[in-house]
A and B are shown apart, each in its own frame.
Chain A
Amino acid sequence: MPALRDLQSAFLRAMLGPDEPQLLEALVGDGLLPTARLQMYRHHVLTSLTEVLQVTFPVICRLVDERFFRYAADAYIRQSPPEAPCLFEYGAHFPAFLATFPPCRALVYLADVARLEWALNVALHAEACAPIATDALRDMPGNEVAGLTVQCHPSLTLVRSPWPIDQIWRANQADADVTAAVIDLRAGGVCLEIFRWEDAVGFRTLAPPVYAFRAALAAGYRLDMAAEAALAAEEDFDVVHALADLLADGSVRGWTRSHATRESASCTHR
């Protein structure tokens, strides 16, 4: 009689791989081969997780066709099964998986479209969080502002691609105008900001210097360092304006002084 821990380890291996002889011996057939009974569970595990990925990555599913999507999802699930029961968190590594999945190699834009879809999923499920007031930093001396790091809204993600992934995404929505759906891959890259405004999730394009500024802040750089990143992209980048826009967009939930006295404004739950 196998110990429960060993039985469950064998069951796990059998769900994501071939039958385990030790496990088959522990099963009663009741008129069927034990392997057929095991297959009923394996089928549900793989198809239900495939459905989760289909819900999170509908545009990828449309781009590669549903049958191929199921094939890719099967390989991904076996390689990177969920590590926790909240399945809206499952699929974070799917874009990286697609980037290296040999059958997808010709679809150079696919992984970046998947990154966009994952960012939309993150935005949809991010906790509700009030931004700091637009004038919160008004009375702070400039040199202090320069030393701040900001905490961005939890729904915010920045995605940059050498491909027009925004056009690809739009052309593959249910209400898209299919006659206008010829996309020139040489049209160039795009810098996107994905965010949730109240209950509406969406994205918009950012100018490259603005993207550089916001991406640096989102990565945790101090404001003066983020400004340097933006100025490298555009010599006469207006940092004061860029910061005011960021606050006006409601993209900042708090800030921290990087040196001297540490102080922070915190997120207020709605």
Chain B
Amino acid sequence: MVNMGSIPKLGVGIGLRAPHVAEVLATRPAIGWFEVHAENYMAGGPPLAALEQLRADYPLSVHGVGLSLGSAAALDTRHLARLKTLLARLEPALVSEHLAWSMTGGIYLNHLLPLPYTEETLDIVVQHVRYAQEVLQGRLLIENPSSYLRFAHSVIPEPEFLGELVRRTGCGLLCDVNNIYVSCWNLGGDPLAYLDTLPARAVGEIHVAGHAANDADGQTILIDDHGAPVTAAVWALYAHALARFGPVPTLLEWDTNIPDLAVLRGEAHTAERYIQRAEEAVYAGVA
């Protein structure tokens, strides 16, 4: 496993989804890198074989959704071992997981569920991240979740919780600007202040994605469905993130209502222009 602290200069990648695999294999489009969900490739069949073909031409990022780093119980060692095997086969440039939980009592709920941000939770997540990094022999990037509820006994603001996690485990951060926007909208909070609180040097990857707006009893709730173009507000937040974190590798996520690959490439191109502008601004500042 790589990514021991230095940030690879990868540019903009897209999430590789099943409907696009054949086209990507056949046409090898000009895309910086691909991110895959670890759990979709833990079997040894044709999907993994296809990914191993792509490895030669593109850097990969392995994004786990099932490690459940926020579970009060011990990590699922069988799942961790499967992840380790996958990483050994794919040798990805980036490896990430979530600040969330999805397993308890031997049941997997297939959702990135919210945590109360307390000292107890922090101790538990710190232990799990340390253990996972020890087993996987590398640094994990931990992603901030999108949230629809908060707990009355949460006492630590989320970006401070992440900062403390970085300080105590040496992990990196995957800053999902869409998640920040969605959570701040749904639960209150200032997205810019959130970004400004994160430890800038720990951010090793950014996610941008679209979201949906649902009505709940007359109140608009934003749903992080990764099923639409990135909104102007999230692009603006992305520009702020680039100014603060530098041109870190950025992933364009699109998981539902998946459009043609060309649409994803168009969105990725927009992100590339933001990175270019951020780099020009730094250059102008130096000159």
Contacts and interface: CB of A to CB of B under 8 A. Distances in A.
Contact of B46 (A5, A49, A199, A269): A199
Contacts of A15: 109, 111
B110 A45 contact: yes
B102 interface: yes
B76 A84 contact: yes
Given A3-B120, A28-B150, A88 B104 contact: no
A27 B115 CA distance: 11
Interface in B99-129: 101-111, 113-116, 118, 120-121, 124
Given A8-B71, A11-B113, A82-B108, A26 B152 contact: yes
Contact of B39 (A40, A87, A270): A87
Interface in B72-96: 72-73, 76, 78-79, 82
Nearest to A123: B45
B188 A1 contact: no
Given A52-B110, A81-B108, A82-B110, A128 B45 contact: yes
Given A82-B108, A83-B107, A4 B116 contact: yes
B46 A124 contact: yes
Contacts of B46: 124, 199
A7 interface: yes
B44 interface: yes
B257 interface: no
A121 to B, nearest CB: 10
B39 A86 contact: yes
A30 B148 CA distance: 10
A196 interface: yes
A31 B66 CA distance: 31
Interface residues of B, number: 53
Interface in B215-229: 216-217, 219, 221, 223
Contacts of B72: 3-5, 7-8
A30 B120 contact: no
A41 interface: yes
B49 interface: yes
B153 A11 contact: no
A31 to B, nearest CB: 5
A183 B107 CA distance: 40
Interface size class of A (residues with CB under 8 A): 35 or more
A28 B120 CA distance: 19
Contacts of A269: 44
A145 B44 CA distance: 31
Contact of A86 (B42, B120, B223): B42
Contacts of B109: 12, 15, 45, 81-82
Contact of B149 (A38, A81, A88): A38
Contacts of A33: 217
Contact of B148 (A16, A37, A155): A37
Nearest to B67: A85
B39 to A, nearest CB: 5
A127 B150 CA distance: 42
A45 B114 CA distance: 13
Interface of A: 1-5, 7-9, 11-12, 15-16, 25-28, 30-34, 36-38, 40-41, 44-45, 48-49, 52, 81-88, 124-129, 155, 196, 199, 269-270
8 contacts: A3-B72, A8-B101, A28-B150, A40-B216, A49-B110, A82-B109, A86-B82, A127-B44
Lowest 6 A-B CB distances belong to which pairs? A85-B66, A127-B44, A125-B43, A5-B72, A37-B149, A4-B72
